[in-house]
Amino acid sequence: MGPRTAAGPGERTMSWGLQNRLARMIKPSTGRSLMLAADHGYFMGPTHRLENPRTTLEPLLPYCDAVAVTRGILRSSLPPTLEVPVILRVSGGVSILSSDLSNEDITTSLEDALRVNASAVALSVFVGAPHEHESLVHLSRLIDEAERYDMPVLAITAVGKELEKRDARYLALACRLCAELGAHLVKTYYCEGFEKVVEGCPVPLVVAGGPKLETERDALELASQALAKGAIGIDMGRNIWQSDKPVAMIRALRAIIHGKATVEQALEVFRKAAGPGPSSAVAARGSRTTPSARAPV
Ligand code: 5RP
């Protein structure tokens, strides 16, 4: 199955500004995107290896097509000379200590998103969770407002602490709801039967990585299989910056996303970029054949 591209029947009616912002993040030459996710701190705090976002992100930025952050991290940790398109996280209001992660609101105004020149705004929706209704209404309202300024909205099918239970049927439902409400892009998780999720979602899908997988190979396989089944890219965080060799990892992912590399070829890119060390051995170890979606957030 080919990727569901940003260009489709809807493109003819999509305004210039929306198309331009999407084209900054989704490379027109390949129709794909490598988004670097670093918006975890808004509810997880100083996540492992993202304690100092500036130090973590700086070496990775040259290899991504967009970076996902909150306005706080953008202003404090990324330079205003940044050329990489920004996906601004605009939902929040709850912490990892809460028993109900779905209790989010819109925490950043669209005015602020425009002020920092964001290329998209991102918000989590929690289908099936106690605050399902609010999160879907927030998405709709955000889209109404964002479309006035040709700002794309990336809807995130957040799963709270329930990811283990979220299968293709659930993710297909959640992604379709986001598309029906008008999201321009949807971020979801890879799962068994992912092609069903793609089939039911008429807008481009990107996949998150979830918590750090055992080996780099596992994460490369996840990306490769998601693309093969129709995702247009990844919006990945922990499996990049929690790797012992984050630059090698993002370069290997890039080879898959934009260079059509196989997992074996990408591992070769990883090994060359990583140089000698234990991480190369970890990457090379055998792995599951079907990476699964496994994790909250
Ligand atoms: C955090 C997010 C992340 O952007 C998303 O989960 C992707 O990151 P990872 O690959 O680490 O799962 O939405 O709230």
Q: Is the CB of 125 under 6 A from ligand 1?
A: no
Q: Is the CB of 207 under 6 A from ligand 1?
A: no
Give me the mean pLDDT over the 72-92 stretch.
Answer: 98
Tell me, yes or no, whether 39 lies in a domain. yes
CA-closest candidate to residue 153, choices 4, 25, 264: 25
Tens of pLDDT, residue by residue over 25-75, are: 999 999 999 999 999 999 999 999 999 999 999 999 999 999 999 999 999
Quick one: pLDDT at residue 251? 98
Residue with tokens 């909250």: 296
Tens of pLDDT, residue by residue over 93-133, are: 999 999 999 999 999 999 999 999 999 999 999 999 999 99
Tell me, yes or no, whether 268 lies in a domain. no
Q: Select the more confidently predicted residue: 296 or 70.
A: 70
Tell me, yes or no, whether 293 lies in a domain. no
Give me the mean pLDDT over the 75-87 stretch.
Answer: 98
Tell me, yes or no, whether 56 lies in a domain. yes
Asked whether residue 278 carries a pLDDT value surpassing 70, the answer given is no
12 CA → ligand 1 middle, Å: 31
Question: What distance in Å separates the CA atoms of residue 264 and residue 281, rounded to the nearest whole number?
Answer: 14
Active-site option among 161, 165, 187, 229: 187
Tell me, yes or no, whether 163 lies in a domain. yes
Q: Ligand 1, from 121, 235, 250: best to mutate by most atoms within 8 Å of Cβ?
A: 235
Tell me, yes or no, whether 275 lies in a domain. no
- Look up residue 227 and give its DSSP letter: H
Q: How many distinct structural domains can be found in the chain? A: 1
Question: Taking the CB of residue 22, how many other CB atoms lie within 10 A of it?
Answer: 23
The parent domain of residue 144 ranges over: 9-211+230-237
What residue owns the CA closest to ligand 1's atom 8? Answer: 237
CATH code assigned at 155: 3.20.20.70
Give me the mean pLDDT over the 263-273 stretch.
Answer: 98
83, 119 in Cβ contact below 8 A?
A: no
Question: What distance in Å separates the CA atoms of residue 209 and residue 7, rounded to the nearest whole number?
Answer: 25
Tell me, yes or no, whether 242 lies in a domain. no
Q: Is the CB of 210 under 6 A from ligand 1?
A: yes
What residues have CB less than 8 Å from 287, skipping those under 6 apart? 214, 215, 217, 218, 221
Tell me, yes or no, whether 222 lies in a domain. no
**Quick one: 2 exposed, middle or buried, by C-beta within 10 A (0-12, 13-18, 19+)?**
exposed
Give me the mean pLDDT over the 250-269 stretch.
Answer: 98
Q: Is the CB of 68 under 6 A from ligand 1?
A: yes
Give me the mean pLDDT over the 135-163 stretch.
Answer: 93
